[in-house]
Structure 1
Amino acid sequence: MNVEIVLVEGAGFCFGVKRAIDIAFKVAKKHKDGVFTLGPIIHNPQVVEKLKELGVNPIEDTNGQTNIKTLIIRAHGISKDKLEELKKGGYEIIDATCPFVRKAQKIAAKLSSEGYQVVIIGDKEHPEVKGIYSYAGDNAVVISSDEIPILNKKIGIIQQTTQPFSKVKDILKGIIKSLNEFEEIRTFNTLCNFTAKRLESTEKVAKDVDLMLVIGGKNSANTTQLANLCRNIGVKTYHIEDTKEIEREWFKNVKKIGITAGASTPQWIINQIIDKIKCL
């Protein structure tokens, strides 16, 4: 196919995901059995399947499992209570929580201990946010707009690491307008700079191509975020996980294709997709 392909700078694995995957593969080589991850190590089904082939299987809970020797904590992290429970279970625990997520957990715990109501900007159903929330104390709230249930006149604001900067900025502006309702507002930047740069680079490419392919797990929040960004720009956009989903008709009258990928997408999948497009 005679088209120009533009790969977004920084597409694919972010620092935290690459670290988690490297840990998981290293553990797989060291231990031949009894290795599990609590939940999928990252939100990418192909990577999870590769780890299964090496004997590293995801489980949702340890209940009823008698063959667990080593447990790897996923990149999104887990709740404080669950971590304490696992420590009492006698397993070898290897923590692959993303350092940016761990930073948010620590700040949440510190703010709570100092008497602040912790406000988390993010998706309350996301596993990362559930983990951070568990460190944030009884009065903590998760918000996706500037409306805050006020339980304390002193608030400390943090963010889910993959939230778009523009959304966080708008929410903070709205909160500042209600400044007179608070005695003190503290804000901490817990956003992942890798995610911010990928969104910025994707937006730039999407404005200059005829079609965007967004590669990553359908259950990946940050990949879905990239796809929505491209669609909102108005460019024809397809969110795919692998080469099997590609259809030749998509590229009719297309001269320039942009490709981006979520933080959990390995380079080998990106390469396979580029190769397939070139062979159409």
Structure 2
Amino acid sequence: MKTFDVPVNYRSPLISAIKKKRKESDRMKKDFAPTLLDFGPVQIYLARHFGFCYGVENAIDIAFKTVEENKGKRIFLLSEMIHNPQVNADLKAAGVEFLQDTKGKQLMPFEQLTADDIVLIPAFGTTLEIESKLKAIGIATEKYDTTCPFVEKVWNRSEVIAKNEYTIVIHGKPKHEETRATFSHAAANAPSVVVTDMKEAQELAKYILGEKPVAQFYEEFKGQYSEGFDVANHLQRIGVVNQTTMLASDTQAIADFLKETMIKKYGLSEATIKDHFADTRDTLCYATNDNQTAVIGMLDAPADLAIVVGGYNSSNTSHLVELCEEKLPTYFINSDEKILSKETILHYNFHNHTELVTEQYLPTKEPVKILITSGASCPDALVESVIKKLVGFYPNSKTIEEITASPLSPEGGTKA
């Protein structure tokens, strides 16, 4: 796989050493058990896969090279490069300006841009409408397009099923940059509609089955369907794709449910299912799959709590939190600074979008056992900082250097 030139301050000697050891001992990625970092009074179970993915490293590489190679030029980002506050702050510090916020609100009018300006397309991609606006100004975006190849894979899949006259159902968050971009590309080729979750998929099914009045659809799914969408005709043949960072199990459940809905509506068999339902297979990216599977594997470990590190507006990170919350107390933080002390932690509730303080989050017993993972846009250096902060609360702990030098355990390769 291609390697990227990512700023050294995002790297972590500890995490790099652990990932190298795990890769050498499990090249086929079949072992999703966590790595145990036994510091003595505190034991850290580190997920098998976490942190920067291919698409994120590619975007960061292009962005910082663009800054370095274009001194004196105005450089803009359409919105956040990725959903990580440190990376976006570093780009701003380097002189990069943002044109929009993450919800698409304009921060600077496109009319103020000139053909001499550089505009970076973020990893989430962008809409065809915005691409057209930039081209009309004379801005060439191809060289500075950091769209993740796995997002483009979804666009390509959508185009293929559109050619076969299927309507595209997108499982995603309607206001998320990636879903807005995917919807734009899908809608250019076929009727399209976004469903946020299973509840919305169930409501969509009622229109397919004729159980709800057609007129109600346009209010219920306002802002989530393409122009000219005809409920009576456009829900007869459908295919499901997704925002690449959604929970794999959720997307599969929605696709299976809508497939069963079409079978019920049209009395289909396995031989005739393609007449009304496209076989799109899973369109999650490999990193989303690996990170989610690694969390599921990590949750088998005996632990007192979980800490998930990443940007608060990161979709893939919030889904890792969601998985952990099903099993044990979970704290979602974006840096080690949120760990205020051994007694107090400031963490994010992504359900209601608020930060809250929890006291006595660490149990008084020893060893304390903590699960740790991070989102695909989180630098490994942040994870190491979190580990160091936690270990620092226990004076008799082993050092990072001792842990790094430890061989992998022969009992399944889960101890460092």
Moved more, 135-144 or 265-274: 135-144
TM-score by length of 2: 0.63
Give the match for residue 50 of structure 1: 90
Give the match for residue 9 of structure 1: 48
Give the match for residue 228 of structure 1: 322
In 1, distance between residues paired with 2:133 and 2:162?
21
Give the match for residue 363 of structure 2: 252
2:307 to 205, 213, 225: 213
The amino acid that maps onto 1:4 is Q
In 2, distance between residues paired with 1:75 and 1:170?
27
Distance 1:170 1:66, change over 3 A: closer
Give the match for residue 265 of structure 1: 378
1:112 to 162, 165, 172: 162
Give the match for residue 185 of structure 1: 277
Q: CA deviation at 1:259?
A: 0.8
The amino acid that maps onto 1:162 is T
Unaligned 5+ residue runs, structure 2? 1-38, 101-105, 209-233, 267-274, 344-360, 394-416
Contact 1:153 1:181 in 2 (8 A): no
Distance 1:134 1:28, change over 3 A: same
Contact 1:40 1:59 in 2 (8 A): no
In 1, distance between residues paired with 2:56 and 2:43?
29
Moved more, 211-220 or 159-168: 159-168
Q: Which has the larger radius of gyration?
A: 2
Contact 1:111 1:136 in 2 (8 A): no
In 1, distance between residues paired with 2:317 and 2:300?
18
CA RMSD, 1 decimal = 1.9
The amino acid that maps onto 1:170 is A
In 2, distance between residues paired with 1:196 and 1:206?
16
1:157 to 240, 264, 283: 240
In 1, distance between residues paired with 2:136 and 2:157?
25
1:71 to 109, 114, 119: 119
Identity %: 33
The amino acid that maps onto 1:187 is D
Contact 1:76 1:97 in 2 (8 A): yes
Q: CA deviation at 1:103?
A: 1.3
Q: CA deviation at 1:76?
A: 0.7
Q: Secondary structure at the match of 1:16?
A: helix
The amino acid that maps onto 1:112 is A
- Could you give the per-residue CA deviations for residues 42-81 of structure 1, whole angstroms, max 9, x where no partner exists? 0111110111122222221443434771111011111111
In 1, distance between residues paired with 2:285 and 2:61?
19
Unaligned 5+ residue runs, structure 1? none
Matches within 5 A, 1:55-134: 55-60=95-100, 61=106, 62-66=109-113, 69-93=117-141, 94-134=144-184
Q: CA deviation at 1:9?
A: 1.7
Give the match for residue 26 of structure 2: none
In 1, distance between residues paired with 2:46 and 2:63?
27
2:387 is the counterpart of 1:274: yes
- Could you give the per-residue CA deviations for residues 111-139 of structure 1, whole angstroms, max 9, x where no partner exists? 33442211112222211111111122262
Give the number of equivalent residue pairs.
279
Give the match for residue 240 of structure 1: 333
In 2, distance between residues paired with 1:216 and 1:8?
14
Q: CA deviation at 1:222?
A: 1.2
In 2, distance between residues paired with 1:181 and 1:83?
39
In 1, distance between residues paired with 2:64 and 2:76?
12
TM-score by length of 1: 0.92
The amino acid that maps onto 1:169 is Q
Distance 1:207 1:65, change over 3 A: farther
In 1, distance between residues paired with 2:97 and 2:45?
35
Give the match for residue 194 of structure 1: 287
Bigger proportion of residues as strand: 1
